[in-house]
Structures are given as structure tokens and as C-alpha cells.
Amino acid sequence: MKECGPRLVISMKVAMVDPSAFTPPYDHHLCAGLAETGCELTLFTTDSDYFLWDGDTSYRRLAYFYSHTNDLYSGRDVSFGRTVVKGTEHIVDMSLFVRKIRAMDPDVVHFQWLPLPIVDRLFLQALRRVAPLVLTVHDTTPFRGASTSPIQLLGAESVYELFDQLIVHTPMSQDELVAQNIRSRDISIIPHGILQYPPQPSETEDTDTSTILFFGTIKPYKNIETLLEAYAELPADIRETVELHIAGSPKMDVRPLRERATALGVQPSVHWDLRFVPDAEVPGLFSDADLIVFPYDDIDQSGALLTALQYETPIVATDIAGFASVLTDGKHGYLVPPKNSEELSDAMNRILSDTELAARMSENIGDLVESIPSWVDIARRTCEVYRSVV
């Protein structure tokens, strides 16, 4: 082991684990930061065709999980039985992963996500005999009610006791875990950094039409219906020049949302981009947006928000801790009550109809970005967590 950074931070051999590649951009930025501090880093994950940084990483990345499932369902529109096949392969892969970790002998094993907690706990018990275990709790409410299968929720909270330290991004998340009888000394707060995608040329032509962007996985708690209602409530002269772009992979039935858009009379002005947007296309989406909206009713911290900030576009979000901990109402955009289409619409209208206000908010967001910790700083704080458990 050796020191890294200006303080006594131990550079370690780290096994980072995100079996289902739930958060590839976050994984990449954290791993790159840890590698820059001098840590020997291996990310164990699965194949991600949309992953932008293949072949250009300062750490080792192994597509270790679900190779047979990926091969079986590659290029297939129908995914019947995929959950069962993947769940079965998960058990096999985790068994092999324990052997791999024993041979690797890392200083710490850091999980980002546990796809199947009720099963994973059996393997965690074996892994903790090899090295200390750390878990980043991205969602203190497991899967935010949008799990692929109900079995994913089984044991999702009780598994915390098997980890030597938990990492969260906000004080609110720490409070949530303490309320679940986790000792505060077992929880470390490390902020989420800006997710920076390599810039790509935009193919969008200049038009007189403005764009409201919703970006991210489409799940019930993100309240797309409220956004559609708010869009429909915009003054007619504003709505005629504004397109609503909804981009993200659905984890719910979107037919009722489309039907709601039709009933509201806005369907022709809604661009439904219902897919997992490849990383290479993300910069263009945000660069072309004039307003970004997050109408969620619950979130610990949002990777989409931490992606959006670098584009210095005004934001309207709900006044919940995950957004209020980053954004200031009236300065970077507006914070509105959840599930309130009238106030959401009013906030969007104020920004879209006032170019000077939008410009000031954009400038303020630029200043905000400068205040968010770098990934090297985040990595050093993470190293301190590692040091505390070895």
C-alpha cells in the first residue's frame, strides 16, 4: 500500500461491483477518480453497448456478469423469460465472483448495487471473510418502487448489516438510514459529482422552437403525467413554440401516458424518445434543451440532475431533498411542490417567456458547477472510508 493525495490516504486494491450496470456513468467517474489517486481498481459489471468509455479507462473493467443472458437476448425484441434466466445466471455468477475475489485478495469490495439482495446476502457473508465490504446506497427506498421483480425488494434493507460501511450522497439519505436503525457512525456522506459525458457534435438545426427536456429512466415516481398536464396548461402562445422531449427507457407501461397526452391535446408536440439513450447522444440532448424538468415525488440524489448542471440550462424540479440540497429556488430555476401541475406549469412559463431570467439562471448554474467537488476529491473521501474499515 502507499499514500495518495495530500493527506494520509491509502491507495488500495479495490474491487468495484455493479453487476447489472445500473449506473455506468457514476461507476466510470468514481473508478477513474480512484485510479487517479493511485488505487488499483477493477470494476466488475456487465456488457453495456451504450457505454461510451470502452477501451479508454484508467482502471480495469470486466464484463463479468450475465454473459449468457446477454448473448441469448442480444438483438431480440421479445424478452420473455429474461428475468428468470438472468436471475439464475446471477446466482451462478455470484458463486464464481466469490472465488474470483478470493484469488484477487483485494483490500476492499465496494458494491454500488445489489440486484437480488435476498440471494446476494449469502454471497456477501462469504465475501466479508475475504475483505471489508462497502455499499453505496443510491436509493434509501429500494428501487423506488420500480423494481424489475418483487423479489428484488426482499431483504433489500436488512442486507445493510453485512457491510462495514455505507455511503450516501446527502444528509437526508443518512437520516433515512438512521430511521431504519442503522448507526450514524456506519454511514459516510460523500457527495455525487458531475457526470461529464465526452462532447459530441449536435446534429440539431437551429429553429424557432424551444425544447423542454425530461431525461432519465421512466418510472412511476418521476410523475411524467404531472409534466404532461403542466405542459398542457402553458399559455397557448408559449406552447405553440415549445416541444416537450421525453427521453429515457421505460420501466413502466407508457400507454396510459400517451393516452393522457392525447386527451390533453398535446400529443403532437410531445417527442417520445423511449429507449436507453446511448451515452454518445446525451450531450446533444442537453445542449439542445432550453429548460430541463424533474417532476419527481421522491429521490435521494439524481444522476440526471448531476448530468444536467454542466450544460447550464435552467431547471424546474420538485421541492424535495434530493433537488433542494443542490438547487436554490429562484436562482438556478424553480422548486415546486410534487404532483402540482399548476405550479409546475407556472414555473416553466416564467422561464420560457423571460430570456433575461433564463440567462441569469444559466449563469448561476455555471457558478454552482464550480462548487461541486471533483471526482478526485470524491475519490479521496472514498479512500478515507476504505481506510476506516481495513
List per-residue pLDDT tens for the chain, 390 residues long: 334 444 444 579 999 999 999 888 899 999 999 999 999 999 999 987 555 555 568 899 999 999 988 888 776 655 668 888 888 999 999 999 999 999 999 999 999 999 999 999 999 999 999 999 999 999 888 765 555 566 666 667 789 999 999 999 999 899 999 999 999 999 999 999 999 887 666 555 566 789 999 999 899 999 999 999 999 999 999 999 999 999 999 988 999 999 999 999 999 999 999 998 888 889 999 999 999 999 999 887 888 999 999 999 999 999 998 899 899 999 999 999 999 999 999 999 999 999 999 999 999 999 999 999 999 999 999 999 999 999
| The CATH classification of domain 2-193+373-389, taken from the options 3.40.50.720, 3.20.20.450, 3.40.50.2000, 3.40.50.2300 | 3.40.50.2000
DSSP 182: -
Cα–Cα distance, 287 to 139 (Å, whole number): 28
* Torsion sign (Cα): 264, 284, 302, 146: positive
Q: Which of 254, 258, 343 has its CA nearest to residue 293?
A: 343
CA dihedral 338, 343, 346, 348 (to 10 degrees): -10
pLDDT digits (tens, 9 = 90+) for 144-175: 555 556 666 666 778 999 999 999 999 989 99
* Torsion sign (Cα): 373, 377, 381, 386: positive
DSSP 333-379: EEEE-TT-HHHHHHHHHHHHT-HHHHHHHHHHHHHHHHHSPPHHHHH
At 318, phi and psi to the nearest 5? -80, 150
Q: Which residues contact 268 (CB under 8 A, 6 or more apart)?
A: none
Burial (CB < 10 A; 0-12, 13-18, 19+), residue 34, is buried
The 10 Å Cβ neighbour count of residue 245 is: 18
Angle 262-266-284 from CA coordinates, rounded to 5° = 120
The CATH fold of domain 210-371: Rossmann fold (3.40.50)
pLDDT digits (tens, 9 = 90+) for 100-150: 999 999 999 999 999 999 999 999 999 999 999 999 999 888 765 555 566
Contact 166, 185 (CB under 8 A): no
Name the CA radius of gyration of the chain, rounded: 21
The pLDDT of residue 4 is 43
Give me the residue spans of the domains in the chain: 2-193+373-389, 210-371
Q: Which of 35, 95, 90, 98 has its CA nearest to residue 61?
A: 35
Q: Count how many Cα atoms sit within 13 Å of the Cα of residue 263 in the half-sphere of its side chain.
A: 9
Q: For 137-169, b where at least 16 C-beta lie within 10 A, e where not — what string?
A: bbbbebbbeebeeeebebbbbebbebbbbbbbb
* Fold match flag (2-193+373-389 vs 210-371): yes
Cα–Cα distance, 210 to 241 (Å, whole number): 6
Cα–Cα distance, 111 to 26 (Å, whole number): 12
Q: Which residues contact 99 (CB under 8 A, 6 or more apart)?
A: none
pTM of the model: 0.86
